Amino acid sequence: MVQDTDENGLTLLQLADRLERHGDLFRLHGAAGWMQGRTMYGGASSFIAYLAASRMFPELPPLRAAQIGFIGPVGEDIEARATMLRTGKSVSHVETTLWCDGVLAHRATWLFGKARDGNGHKPADRLMHLTQPEEAEIVPASPRSPAFIRRLELRRAAPRGGDGQIAVRRWVRLLERDGLDPYAELVAIGDTLPPGSMRAMERPGPLSSINWSFTLLGENPMTRDGWWLLETASNHMADGFSSETLRMWNTDGTEVMRGLQSVAIFG
């Protein structure tokens, strides 16, 4: 049963509870607390899309990668569809679409794959020097922060003001994460940080994610006490757009996710 919402809106588990199946589609009414202006936070909308895929096809192997398009504003009332594009001996591709008022707003292709005998090995990169979250400075939510930020705890993982890179790096964890699918948790928080390009903006103005592609580096992502180290870094910024690399590490410093994102910069 869905619990009453608090002043910050729904938890992710409550959001998941509201996603109800109706035949070959899912509907969600009232995603309170996860909006950024006129659209939903990209991690929350992608979380809903991932749930639609995994619930429509519950026998899927582990998530390996995704390609996500933020096509239009995602509102609080959503219709979600999931379609199996192809399933092979070890790999399955599932497409999800989110619709708001009959308009396509979010499209994603999810790649799920079973482990098999390897032909070579290369471990994920590991950070050798990092400040652990327990020792890092807390980043408080500002009055202008969207409500969903209060569902997270953020700590500074790089010097205040940055280290000269056009990048943002923070420790992030969900305050209410018990019972979440670990892959759904990573999808939900993977887009938390603002683009690194915000550090190079010459004047204030809004930014908007256009797409997000990521690959998970291995199965069974684990960390200590829910903490994940996130980074967004601009690779190129010009003409109102930025190409961003998104990375995520666990508390051991092992990289668990790497992605790319296109961002529109206004103002």
d(CA 106, CA 38): 14
* Whole-number pLDDT of residue 205: 87
Q: How far is CA 267 from the centre of its chain?
A: 25
204 band by pLDDT with thresholds 50, 70 and 90: confident
- DSSP β-ladder status, 207-209 and 103-113: unpaired
Q: Is 89 exposed, middle or buried (0-12, 13-18, 19+ CB in 10 A)?
A: exposed
* Whole-number pLDDT of residue 118: 86
Q: What is the pLDDT of residues 19-75, one digit of tens each?
A: 999 999 999 999 889 998 889 999 999 999 999 999 999 999 999 999 999 999 999
The dihedral region occupied by 175, where left means phi > 0, alpha psi between -120 and 50, and beta the remainder, is alpha
* Whole-number pLDDT of residue 170: 96
Residue ranges covered by each domain of the chain? 12-115+135-265
The whole-number average pLDDT for the span 73-79 is: 96
160 band by pLDDT with thresholds 50, 70 and 90: low
Encoding tokens for residue 215?
């690959």
Q: What is the pLDDT of residues 91-128, one digit of tens each?
A: 999 999 999 999 999 999 999 999 988 899 999 999 98
Q: Is pLDDT of 253 > 70? A: yes
CATH architecture classification, 12-115+135-265: Beta Barrel (2.40)
Give the contacts of 233 (CB within 8 A, at least 6 positions apart): 165, 166, 167, 168, 196, 244, 245, 247
